[in-house]
Amino acid sequence: MNTETIPASEVIVEGRIVAIRGGVVDVAFDGVVPHIHDLLFAGDIALEVSSLIGSGMVRAMAMAPVRGLGLGMRVSATGGPIMVPVGEAVLGRMLNVFGEPIDGRPAPDTPQRRAIHQDPPKLSDRVLHSEILETGIKAIDLLSPIERGGKTGLFGGAGVGKTVLITELINNTVQHHNGVSLFCGIGERSREAEELYREMGEAGVRDKTVMLFGQMNEAPGVRFLVGQTALTMAEYFRDDRGQDVLLLIDNIFRFVQAGSEVSGLMGRMPSRVGYQPTLATELAGLEERITSTKRGAITSIQAVYVPADDFTDPAAAHIFSHLSASVVLSRKRASEGLYPAVDPLSSTSVMLTPSVVGQRHYDIARAVRRTLAEYEELRDIIAMLGLEELSSADRATVSRARRLERFLTQPFVTTESFSTAKGKMVPVAQTLDGCETILNQTEFDLPESAYYMIGSLQDLEAAS
């Protein structure tokens, strides 16, 4: 960060470096000791105070590589936390954790700045919205509908399509979203950031979107705090402007991972499976700020990497507890070429109740789940004895289930460049009609393959 952005009058006290451990720096002050979360500068390297360790000493996270720092080096305290620009000026921009541009354009021209650390809204200010955010993705809209003003997690291991799915959600929801969209990339690859910036421009939605990145090659302190920066900007649009905000985070597991790195460097004893002992409170501090108030709503969609496909991992388990909808991506379905690889039996949503989605939607979703669960139980028998050994009722169930599996696949707009299929966005009503038609049939004229990678059933009829 450029120290010129901090007015000289804000520098209240100076200290000196007494220890450097990786990305953690100990600083001794003779006079007034800075507070936790205060911003310090050693040369042009920014540090954030993480803990007070007595005798006028503080332990701080470095927000950049510590090359060039040395023992005894002078450190300046600014007297306050990291402040980032908020307001209309950040729309259409790609920024870092300090709110500085990384898109090659001038800094956002706004006098409004806010501290990145804020308290969650009071319980009395919060409201619940029993509304669905339609995505146009059949498997999600049918089985785990997204709550407007809620938090949705896309869970999956490496290579099952989390980033592709979140990019498709950006394409489908941002274009039809009347509020402001904010994308926060935590610990993702710079190639993905560049592609996303270009795609948002081509789709014509970049001017309503803010993009913040803390990349994998940056210091753990940056990856740990970039989510707080994103929320500070989102809260301005929600609270001051009264707008709805769509917040997309890729990947929330990298926030937990960065916290674990920082915790280890701070010298804290690790907890279960090597995670930091403060995992629950750090995650809650971020997630509880993502909420709806009387003034506006923040709808969050978060990609969650699941280490080694282990959903009992403490990071995945803690993230689950904060969500209103969980979309689980299955490696087994991905290996069968069923994309999006949404696991229909593991994906859930608190919105899937008759009072919210309606009795018909609820009944169809349950019938689809029941049919696919019965097919799952019959798989072993089919593998050992063959399909011919099943009763006629079971054979009809298998036929319906296999067609439902293929019907819930869908070509994406974001994959058009490397596939021959044109992307489809399917309204919920057509998804329900298609599933209901398949569930009510016992004999099928067309093979299973005809249902694969289509939009609504009208596409099937047109193809036939």
DSSP string covering 389-457: GS-HHHHHHHHHHHHHHHHT----GGGGGGSSSPP----HHHHHHHHHHHHH-SS-SS-GGGGTT-SSH
- Kindly state the tokens that stand for 93: 């921009």
E-assigned strand segments in 22-175: 24-29, 39-42, 45-54, 57-62, 74-77, 83-85, 94-95, 113-115, 132-133, 146-147, 151-156
Continuous segment of H or E residues that includes residue 212: strand 209-214
Burial state string for 162-193 with b = 16 or more CB within 10 A and e = fewer than 16: bbbbbbbbbbbbbeebebbbbbbbbbbeeeeb
Structure tokens at 417: 């460049």
CA distances from 452 to 240, 370, 438 (A): 46, 21, 13
- Nearest to 322, CA basis, from 278, 283, 282: 283
CA distances from 17 to 61, 75, 140, 393, 424 (A): 13, 7, 52, 76, 57
Rounded Cα gap, residues 446 and 448, in angstroms: 7
Cα 169 to the chain's mean position, in Å?
11
Beta carbons of 215 and 193 less than 8 angstroms apart: yes
Task: Round to whole Å and give the CA distance between 17 and 11.
Answer: 17
Active site residues: 162, 188-189
* Alpha carbons 53 and 340: distance in angstroms, whole number: 49
> For residue 32, what are the CA distances in angstroms to 42, 45, 78, 98?
17, 21, 12, 25
Phi (first) and psi of residue 339, to 5 degrees? -115, 140
Give the separation between CA 186 and CA 229, rounded to whole angstroms.
Answer: 11
Which tokens go with 174? Answer: 């941002």
The answer to whether the CB of 319 falls within 8 A of the CB of 290 is no
Tokens 């803010």 -> residue = 210
Cβ atoms within 10 Å, residue 240:
14
